[in-house]
Structure 1
Amino acid sequence: MTVSSVTLFDLLIAAVAAERLAELVVARRNARWAFAHGGIESGRSHYPPMVALHAGLLAACVLEVHAAGRPFLPALGWAALVAALASQGLRWWCIATLGPRWNTRVIVVPGLALVDRGPYRWLRHPNYVAVVVEGIALPLVHTAWVTALAFTALNAVLLLRYRIPAEERALAGAAGPDSR
């Protein structure tokens, strides 16, 4: 019996959904730690749309591939899969580097210095690089180009233009003496 590329894509999306649930478990645990250490949350208003957009990405990937009959194009699909997996690697490198300070919400513990190791040595917001790469690459694994374009545009216009400044303000207001 041969497994179709669509079935394999569905399994990939299911695996990413499971990974997202794991992130939420880590984020909930880290939020408890942050609040126990005086953490202050910022930017709550953009969190529900962010969750909806990220869940929508996964649903739209599956919907577009099934409804529009998008093919698996090996040259594009394999390259996109490598990029999508690399984005997951970068995301978990961010999580490991920040430890209990990582969260899907903007929660900052006052007085802590900014992290400048791991991917933060080279990038101010490496987790957002992972999100952008994943938003383009994951749908393109099975040629869901409408989803890739729509997510990228919505992520840029509706989220990142608010989220990054909110995070910057929170970090600037709570940074410790050794901050950059």
Structure 2
Amino acid sequence: MSVYLWVLLIIIVLQRLFEMVIAKSNEKWMKDRGAIEKEADHYKWFIILHVLFFISILMESYLKDTANGSLNFTLLVIFILTQLVRIWCISSLGRFWNTKIIILPGAHLVSKGPYKYVKHPNYVIVGIELFVIPLLFEAIITAVLFPLFHILLLSVRIPAEERALTEVLLNTKREETGK
């Protein structure tokens, strides 16, 4: 792998670790205010998926011997654009952004930023990343498999999140109407 690709990979991993720090801080803030984590059983599979994703990129790049690979600037631009939307998602949710399903009673659903247009924009961004990042490293197999694994996990995650969000809406509505 070229130096540019190593630098990019390190930046991506550091970004993900920084996001985990933000998520943990947001989790603590929400739980300090009475928030409850919902349907956590599948969360470990997201962690496993993302760890294996980076291992798969490294292994495939190594096996293909892409040592002299250069950056594909079109893919890099797509990646950068996805990062801007990712930041937009995180900043729009603010303290409510998390990698877990954590519900704060009495909170209202966020409907600003990309959430005004798409119900789960961050999942779309992650799907694009799971395709584009491996292509930057010429890891074609990873680019095909991991978006499919992501879709499979989302078939569990999105319904779980919808149930939790519906609960928030119902509880908020009850509080507002006094019933």
TM-score (norm 1): 0.88
For 2:58 and 2:73, how far apart are their aligned partners in 1?
Answer: 17
In the comparison of the two structures, how many residue pairs are matched? 171
For 2:69 and 2:145, how far apart are their aligned partners in 1?
Answer: 20
For 1:44 and 1:100, how far apart are their aligned partners in 2?
Answer: 19
Shift of 1:68: 1.4
Contact 1:93 1:118 in 2 (8 A): yes
- 1:81 to 2:111 alignment: no
- 1:50 to 2:51 alignment: no
Contact 1:13 1:62 in 2 (8 A): no
Give unmatched runs, 5+ long, in structure 2. Answer: none
Q: Deviation per CA, 1:44-72, whole angstroms, max 9, x where unpaired? A: 11111101111211221122112112474
Q: Deviation per CA, 1:91-128, whole angstroms, max 9, x where unpaired? A: 11111111110001110112211111111111100110
- 1:163 to 2:135 alignment: no
Segments of 4+ moved more than 6 angstroms? none
2:14 is matched with 18
Contact 1:73 1:143 in 2 (8 A): no
Q: Indicate the percent of aligned positions where both proteins have the same amino acid.
A: 35
Correspondence 1:27-106 to 2 at 5 A: 27-70=23-66, 72=69, 77-106=72-101
Contact 1:135 1:148 in 2 (8 A): yes
Output the amino acid matched with 1:174: V
- 1:121 to 2:103 alignment: no
Output the amino acid matched with 2:155: R
For 1:7 and 1:52, how far apart are their aligned partners in 2?
Answer: 27
Shift of 1:73: 6.9
SS in 1 for 2:144: helix
SS in 1 for 2:102: strand
Shift of 1:166: 0.7
TM-score (norm 2): 0.89
2:130 is matched with 135
Output the amino acid matched with 2:23: A
